[in-house]
Amino acid sequence: MNNKIIFNSELSIEEVKGRGRYNKSFVVCINGKDNPTIDDFFKTVKVAYQFSDADLWDQVIDWFTDLDWIQQTSYVLIIENWTAFLEKDKIEKDNFIDIFKHNILPWWERDVVNHVVGGEPRNFNVYLFD
């Protein structure tokens, strides 16, 4: 398993969504144009992933490293219009990459086994499209 962030995949957004559904993944597609600030992103993921709160990165990380209410056992996050995503919060855009790369993706790739009783690794890939 190799969870990763993929910039401008050779696949189209529709192909990524289709493969995700075929593999029975939980697929979320976010339009960067609708998420120019971190508050917009937090509101979007709160709804898309059914988080009870998502006002700070710490809360979002906690939820993204749980996801036990989601029946699917793999996850795909697609952000289209990547250039527009967090365009008003450039530092937060860097934080987004760092947090997924160093916290969320490694959690599902390997860390969950050591921190959750019966925890199993899961695929979680993030696709960023311009």
pLDDT digits (tens, 9 = 90+) for 48-76: 999 999 999 999 999 999 999 999 999 99
pLDDT for res 1 = 74
- Give the pLDDT band of residue 9 (cuts 50, 70, 90): confident
Write out pLDDT tens, residues 14-52: 999 999 989 999 999 999 999 999 999 999 999 999 999
**Mean pLDDT calculated for residue range 96-107:** 98
Give me the torsion for CA of 10, 15, 17, 20, rounded to 10°: -90
Q: Enter the DSSP assignment of 32.
A: G
CB 31 within 8 A of CB 81: yes
pLDDT class of 81 with cuts at 50, 70, 90: very high
Please report, as a single letter, which amino acid is at residue 111: D
